[in-house]
Chain A
Amino acid sequence: MLQKNEDNERHRAFSRRGLLLGGAQSLLLAGLAGRMYYLQVVEADRYKTLAEDNRINLRLLPPPRGRILDRFGYPLASNRQNFRVVLVREQAGDVERVLDALSRLMVLGEHDYKRVLREASRKRGFVPVTVRENLTWDEVSRVEVNGPDLPGVSIEMGQIRDYPYAAGMSHVLGYVAPVAERDLTGDPLLELPGFRIGKNGIEQKYDLPLRGAAGNSQIEVNAYGRVIRELNREEGKPGDELVLTLDGGLQTFTHQRLLGEKSASAVVMDIENGDVLALASTPSYDPNAFNIGLTVKQWNNLINDPLKPLNNKATTGLYAPGSTFKMVVALAALKAGISPDHRAFCPGHMTLGRARFHCWKRPGHGWVDMIRGIQHSCDVFFYEISRKVGIDNIAAMARQFGLGEPVGIDLNGEKGGVIPTRDWKLANIGEPWQGGETLIASIGQGFVLTTPLQLAVMTARLASGKAVTPRLTRGVRAEGEGPEGGEPPVPDFATLDVPEAHLNIVREAMDAVSNHPRGTAYRARIQEEGWELAGKTGTSQVRRITMAERAAGVTKNEHLPWRRRDHALFVSFAPVHKPRYCCAVVVEHGGGGSKVAAPIARDLLIETQRRDPAGRPSMPILAVGLPTQQG
């Protein structure tokens, strides 16, 4: 009984405390329920967002780069399939064994072999590692056929820029190369591995329209970053297809023709609308090499080459124009009131103060007027008239012809050259102008510097009397003929402030240079009827001829080392009586303009007129402005 009572007492104590315990547990569970409510109702939106961020990755789809076409629609830069072998480590198992098997099917250098091993061990197991790019069809099929023996190996297809004209077009087109740190603009496309942007030439200038807009793919990834599936896909906009003014065939011809010389450049233009039909500079480089990536050795060879293959000499090479400048001086003289019949006597030199200025022809030309002065390129005649005209008037005329400042072509880095004036010399050299310097400038020597492109523009303006400016791009290719596609409008160039009569005198003189038996370029005339050219030779010294040399008689170019020989220049237009095309040629250290440069110009103008690009239908374009990028 006692024990029973005691047990009842224990039971009561138990019940009390048990209820307490149960109550406490219920409270704690209620707390859990509250926490559930907080997480799943109050904070649900925040966690839902976080969960989506976790699983969804946006992946950019690089747009295909727009092609670059010549005026007739032939591709100058396009995209080619690039097959590459990739290896996924976790599928391969033994990476070395698979690589050994691969190296029996294709060339696999020691360097690549080690790089793959390194990358494979560093990257996550499911990330593909590129083993080799640019496989040939043969290699692709060998890898595919041996698929079962190559676990984890697959062929991926990408796009790589292709320049079918290779070195023939590189200075105009430029090249594409992987994005460098300083190129980053915040456009996520640029951060895509393997993405390439234009680094030079048209590729650089019109990089934005050529690039297009990236598409994107929403993909679901798991916690390790492995792709599970694609949720959504938005295709990007391919880059614009750019139509240039170049004639691919003529460009190739020009490049080939210049290759006969060590270092030269040439520009062929349409006088009427400023279309640049060919623009070449040699030696050149293969832009395709930049795509794959140059080796340090290749790069060093390029930048250390004394012939500067990376430079576009047509737009950035500065040369004293030599006698090709004489037309400008003649026009300045006519404008200053000197009669076209003004005659001067050339004894082979002229003395000014204590200095003696030589004519290129030692015995002298005798009596010459303006037309003879140009035809025979008599230096003394121009010494004399320039003294009367003065350097500032000559400079003003030169500027009208596009000299002394960039003419504004669609290529970055164009040089402006120098047309000296009294003020210019004071500001830049800090010394007053000397009378003798006017004489030297009148034959295109001394301070005067021009680019081959400027000389072509000058010639176009001489032939047309209008302020022709060059253009390199016609526009964006139109899909069809239709109303939206068409020709770019013919630019309405302003008329130069030079009387037509004056121009005719100069044109007549240039005609005589080439077509008069005693003209300096008669041997480089065009004999086909109706295609005759008018031109002017130029030979510009790159050094002073010392008195000692004159005395010793070592004045022949062929006897000098190449570096010290004269530059050979020739400017010309054709047909002589109805000018349509103009051409400027500069051969570095080529010697005499008539002997070296004029024959090249003749061949270029014959080929130009044979092809007659202006007379053939060209690729229709859209009339839209193109955003450009300064470089």
Chain B
Amino acid sequence: MPADIFLSNRNPEITLRQKIWQLNWGLVILLCLIAGVGFAMLYSAANGSMSPWASRQLMRFGIGLFIMFVVALIDVRFWFRHAYLIYLGSLALLVAVEVMGTIGMGAQRWIDLGFIRLQPSEVMKVSLILALARYFHGVSMEDIGRPTYLMLPLALVMAPAALVLKQPDLGTSGMLLLAASAVFLCAGVRWWKFALVFVAGLAAVPIGWQFLHDYQKARVMTFLNPENDPLGAGYHAMQAMIAFGSGGVTGKGFMQGTQSHLNFLPEKQTDFIFTMLAEEFGLMGSLGLLALYFLLLVYGFAIAFRARNQFARLLAIGLTTNLFLYVFINMAMVMGVFPVVGVPLPLVSYGGTALLTLMTAMGLVISCYIHRDIRISRRGTAEV
């Protein structure tokens, strides 16, 4: 019975009212601010119109807020108990799109749910961290030093990473690996093991290069030398930099961005929306949004440090790192310091799945905050 989730009789001291009272409102306001920036930019991207992007994004954000609250209010132990189940479900979805793709619908990465197109790879970003947090919660510091105890979590990471890479989605696959490493790191995995994996990864680069698609190779080459091909693949990267730089300190004004409104800027409503913000609001705007994200990350880290159980700590830090990866990769990409890999700017870029998974992740982080004082035994029983 659902109410049981909120009012667990094993935690009689936390009532639903207290939970709502405990909700981290500062974080919610921050999220709304960032999303607000997104609506404004989508409004501008459509040349001063709510349709087609801003209004739909607004609706999705509403749904996202609702989901976030529901997720936040659910007892963190519920998520603990069902972490593997959620992971397996996500993995099944990933396999499902893979199978559908091979059956003949092309390189499809999503499942149509009517109001959004669900990308299992996005869902997996949250599920993987849940599963890893659950796993490392139950492993002692001693055991973490033993390689055999790392076999299972590595398998948990590699299975979805390989599936996503095969889609092919280099960006998401990389983000899965990086977010997972953050959980590994904070769980206490030895430094030299990271070093080992890093060296092995470097050695694998030339081999991995063989498996890249031509367009992926082109993107990397373009990133390494964008001026080499100003009218071809480097054109968009160049135009994005021009848009960004031409904003100057104060920007060209809301809806006055020439690069964005004259279509020199590619994907201005999705991956390159930050460029548009930078063009129209200048350094003030870009630094401002960066500061908002920074505050969001600070909240995430603070919640992780404050939690009394390892699961919540790892979950909060993993999800916050995931958010960081979105922000960093997207901004670095549009500013020409990272290859164009197709990572949206969280809460701002137009797109359903990323928004909803992010709001779910934020819900989990808030849940970690609300249930921060709950202790969970290594085997999963609660202690107060």
The closest CB in chain B to the CB of A22 belongs to B301
Chain A residues with CB below 8 A from B258, complex form? 51-52, 54-55, 220
A interface majority secondary structure:
helix
- Taking the closest CB of chain A, its distance from the CB of B104, in whole angstroms, is 33
Q: A18-B317, A32-B335, A51-B259 are in contact. Are A44 and B297 (CB under 8 A)?
A: no
Query: Are A223 and B188 within 8 A (Cβ)?
Result: no
Q: Which of A9, A18, A26 is the one whose CB lies under 8 Å from B313?
A: A18
CA–CA, A228 and B377, complex, Å:
66
**Interface-side segment among B13-21, B85-93, B94-102, B237-245:** B237-245
Chain B residues with CB below 8 A from A292, complex form? none
- Taking the closest CB of chain A, its distance from the CB of B10, in whole angstroms, is 18
- Taking the closest CB of chain A, its distance from the CB of B223, in whole angstroms, is 14
The closest CB in chain B to the CB of A17 belongs to B186
Chain B residues with CB below 8 A from A305, complex form? none
Q: A47-B242, A47-B245, A51-B242 are in contact. Are A32 and B264 (CB under 8 A)?
A: no
Interface string of A45-82 (1 = CB under 8 A from B): 01110111011000000000000000000000000000
Q: Is B263 in the interface zone, CB < 8 Å from A?
A: yes
Chain B residues with CB below 8 A from A221, complex form? 262
Q: Is A25 in the interface zone, CB < 8 Å from B?
A: yes
Interface string of A218-249 (1 = CB under 8 A from B): 00111110001000000000000000000000
CA–CA, A493 and B200, complex, Å:
100
Q: Is A607 in the interface zone, CB < 8 Å from B?
A: no
- Taking the closest CB of chain B, its distance from the CB of A9, in whole angstroms, is 6
Size category of the binding interface on chain A? 35 or more
Q: Which of B182, B244, B259, B262 is the one whose CB lies under 8 Å from A21?
A: B182
**Interface-side segment among B105-113, B168-176, B279-287, B347-355:** B279-287
Q: A10-B141, A10-B310 are in contact. Are A40 and B278 (CB under 8 A)?
A: yes
**Interface-side segment among B62-70, B75-83, B324-332:** B324-332
Q: Is B167 in the interface zone, CB < 8 Å from A?
A: no
- Taking the closest CB of chain B, its distance from the CB of A219, in whole angstroms, is 12
Q: Is A294 in the interface zone, CB < 8 Å from B?
A: no
Q: Is B185 in the interface zone, CB < 8 Å from A?
A: yes
Query: Are A222 and B264 within 8 A (Cβ)?
Result: yes
Query: Are A25 and B264 within 8 A (Cβ)?
Result: no
Query: Are A25 and B245 within 8 A (Cβ)?
Result: no
Interface string of A164-194 (1 = CB under 8 A from B): 0000000000000000000000000000000
Q: Is B321 in the interface zone, CB < 8 Å from A?
A: yes
B210-256, CB < 8 A from A: 239, 241-249
Chain B residues with CB below 8 A from A13, complex form? 141, 188
Q: Which of B245, B264, B294, B337 is the one whose CB lies under 8 Å from A48?
A: B245
Q: Is B372 in the interface zone, CB < 8 Å from A?
A: no
CA–CA, A41 and B244, complex, Å:
11
| Chain A residues at the B interface, C-beta cutoff of 8 Å | 3, 6-7, 9-11, 13-15, 17-18, 20-22, 25-26, 28-29, 32-33, 35-37, 39-41, 43-44, 46-48, 50-52, 54-55, 220-224, 228
Q: List 23 A-B contacts (CB under 8 A).
A: A9-B141, A10-B141, A14-B188, A15-B305, A18-B313, A20-B185, A21-B182, A29-B293, A29-B294, A29-B328, A36-B278, A36-B286, A39-B244, A39-B245, A40-B247, A40-B283, A47-B242, A51-B242, A54-B239, A54-B262, A55-B264, A220-B258, A223-B263
